[in-house]
């Protein structure tokens, strides 16, 4: 309502397709019909799949409602628009500063810049839908707020529902840093629309500080598609019987931080069997079991008496601290994928410690002091490892702490000394952190999660690409025949892709085009 009072909202009348049969306005993609450009019969209201042009649903020939096939009519409807154009200067100044201070990820900066460079346009923030947040204005009983206008406001209202002290978080930009994580398709709502709404109130708000945006995770070299049953999703992930922590590990270790990444079943199984089981799990299990054995009967020996004349244990502590420093820096910079790889290096180093010192019964008998020192250091290393893995794999961290019979260690800001597990402390019983996944599972899961559908989707994609290429060549031939001396590339940007007054992004060059794919400022989608 403050935006309203400050003159940043405006009511406008637009014309939208309306289905009289089921009595509702239709989102662009719920209208189908014949493409006015190429005549394709199953074009969608927002885009023709055959010729690739963006369309206006009201331009389709013989349009029909996707739900019931009735012909929609053009009907006027009133909507509230957020005047982003009036806020452009403010949001530009804010985003240039924040993106630097908060070290936004590269694609986040590029997407935001492309919106700003194009010039912000008023955006409809209400929709003709039944489901949603009511609009607090007269005559808006049949309309609701657009989800991307009110979803971000939800961050604030959720906090306010949780605690009456919500302003401590949301009204204190000097002391609170807001970190946000999202896929690149959601960037503009967080870097342009929501900050504009905040700025337009003229009030003091905590605004986005660090932005961590990802590229896309693909599925077996294709695309995940819930509607077509391609890929593995929440509930079915559970049905595989693989613990949530293993999923967390695999997905975070392939987090698409700098480019698209692939979900692949063979990689998933290898990650579990090699990275988690052989490296991480083996280290923890080996040392806990050794302390459980008759040598110590689960009681931590006195590891303070050994004279480390060769400084080999000192060297281990030094190397661990080096890795720990990297881990801290990566976590501060929200390099989650790198941070997780660093944790795995930390557990490799633990395995190294046991191997270098040949930890076994003979060592316990022949060099008890040295053995005790290695055991103390290794247990401490496991203790540290639990804390380092805790943000990624909470159940694994908890299991390690139970086996150590210890509290979670606060990762030291300074040096780690390798002495957090005291002599005389009694540890718990060893338990396996991970179990082997049989290689046969690869085939089974691949078939279960859309193998056939995936093949079909790939074939369709190839056919489409071929059709597009043929079309391009046809145009080229036509142009050459007509002798029209257009500069290269102009053909594409002229005829295309202008929709609701938004220019095509195709002139911005392929790199940006890829990043901004699907994120251009198309104005009024009803969903």
Residues that bind Zn ion (CB under 5 A): 19, 21-22, 35, 37-38, 40, 48, 50-51, 65, 67-68, 70
Q: Whole-number minimum distance, CB 223 to Zn ion, in Å?
A: 22
Q: Which CB atom, from 204 or from 478, has the smaller least distance to Zn ion?
A: 478
Q: Whole-number minimum distance, CB 141 to Zn ion, in Å?
A: 21
> Do the beta carbons of residue 454 and residue 222 sit within 8 Å?
yes
Q: Whole-number minimum distance, CB 397 to Zn ion, in Å?
A: 52
Q: Which CB atom, from 23 or from 414, has the smaller least distance to Zn ion?
A: 23
Q: Whole-number minimum distance, CB 68 to Zn ion, in Å?
A: 4
Separation CA 225–CA 231 (nearest Å): 7
Q: Which CB atom, from 30 or from 290, has the smaller least distance to Zn ion?
A: 30
A 10 A CB-CB count for 100 gives 10
Helix H or strand E segment including 339: helix 336-356
Q: Whole-number minimum distance, CB 75 to Zn ion, in Å?
A: 13
Helix H or strand E segment including 482: helix 451-482
Separation CA 89–CA 83 (nearest Å): 12
Q: Whole-number minimum distance, CB 228 to Zn ion, in Å?
A: 23
Residue appearing with tokens 């085939």: 443
Task: Calculate the CA dihedral of residues 332, 336, 340, 343 and round it to 10 degrees.
Answer: 0
Q: Which CB atom, from 37 or from 153, has the smaller least distance to Zn ion?
A: 37
Phi-psi region of 483 (alpha: psi -120 to 50; beta: other; left: phi over 0): left
Q: Which CB atom, from 44 or from 190, has the smaller least distance to Zn ion?
A: 44
Q: Whole-number minimum distance, CB 142 to Zn ion, in Å?
A: 16
Q: Which CB atom, from 50 or from 143, has the smaller least distance to Zn ion?
A: 50
Separation CA 222–CA 263 (nearest Å): 9
Separation CA 221–CA 98 (nearest Å): 35
Per-residue tokens: 72: 């929609």
Residue 148: half-sphere exposure toward Cβ, Cα within 13 Å: 22
Separation CA 386–CA 228 (nearest Å): 39
Q: Which CB atom, from 23 or from 234, has the smaller least distance to Zn ion?
A: 23
């Amino acid at each position: 309502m403050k935006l309203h009072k400050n003159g940043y909202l405006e009511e406008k009348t637009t014309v939208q397709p309306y289905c009289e049969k089921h009595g509702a306005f239709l989102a662009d993609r719920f209208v189908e019909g014949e493409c006015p450009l190429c005549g394709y019969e199953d074009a969608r209201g927002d885009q023709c799949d055959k010729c690739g042009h963006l369309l206006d649903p009201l331009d389709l020939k013989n349009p029909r409602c996707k739900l019931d096939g009735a012909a929609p009519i053009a009907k006027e409807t009133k909507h509230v628009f957020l005047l982003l154009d009036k806020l452009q200067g403010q949001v530009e100044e804010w985003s240039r500063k924040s993106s630097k201070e908060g070290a936004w990820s590269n694609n986040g900066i590029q997407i935001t810049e492309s919106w700003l460079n194009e010039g912000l346009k008023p955006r409809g923030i209400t929709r003709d839908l039944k489901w949603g947040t009511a609009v607090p204005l007269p005559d808006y009983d049949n309309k609701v707020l657009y989800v991307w206008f009110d979803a971000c406001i939800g961050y604030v209202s959720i906090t306010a529902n949780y605690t009456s002290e919500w302003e401590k978080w949301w009204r204190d930009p000097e002391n609170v840093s807001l970190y946000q994580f999202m896929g690149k398709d959601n960037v503009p709502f967080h870097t342009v629309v929501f900050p504009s709404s905040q700025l337009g109130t003229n009030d003091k708000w905590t605004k986005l500080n660090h932005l961590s945006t990802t590229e896309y995770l693909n599925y077996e070299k294709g695309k995940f598609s819930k509607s077509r049953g391609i890929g593995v999703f929440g509930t079915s992930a559970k049905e595989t019987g693989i613990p949530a922590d293993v999923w967390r590990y695999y997905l975070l270790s392939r987090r698409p931080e700098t480019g698209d990444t692939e979900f692949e079943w063979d990689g998933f199984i290898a990650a579990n069997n090699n990275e988690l089981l052989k490296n991480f799990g083996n280290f923890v299990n080996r040392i806990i079991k050794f302390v459980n054995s008759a040598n110590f009967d689960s009681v931590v020996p006195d590891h303070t008496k050994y004279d480390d004349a060769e400084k080999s244990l000192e060297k281990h502590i030094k190397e661990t601290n080096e890795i720990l420093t990297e881990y801290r820096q990566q976590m501060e910079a929200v390099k989650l994928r790198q941070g997780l790889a660093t944790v795995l290096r930390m557990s490799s180093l633990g395995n190294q410690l046991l191997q270098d010192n040949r930890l076994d019964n003979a060592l316990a008998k022949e060099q008890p002091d040295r053995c005790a020192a290695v055991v103390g250091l290794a247990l401490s290393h496991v203790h540290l490892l639990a804390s380092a893995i805790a943000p990624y794999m909470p159940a694994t961290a908890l299991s390690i702490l139970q086996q150590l019979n210890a509290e979670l260690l606060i990762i030291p800001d300074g040096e780690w000394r390798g002495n957090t597990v005291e002599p005389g402390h009694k540890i718990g019983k060893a338990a396996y952190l991970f179990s082997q996944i049989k290689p046969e599972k690869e085939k089974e899961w691949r078939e279960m999660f859309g193998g056939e559908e995936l093949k079909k989707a790939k074939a369709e994609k190839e056919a489409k690409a071929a059709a597009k290429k043929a079309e391009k060549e046809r145009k080229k031939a036509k142009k050459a025949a007509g002798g029209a001396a257009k500069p290269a590339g102009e053909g594409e940007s002229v005829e295309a892709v202008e929709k609701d007054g938004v220019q095509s992004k195709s002139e911005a060059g392929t790199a940006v085009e890829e990043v901004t794919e699907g994120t251009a400022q198309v104005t009024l989608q009803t969903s």
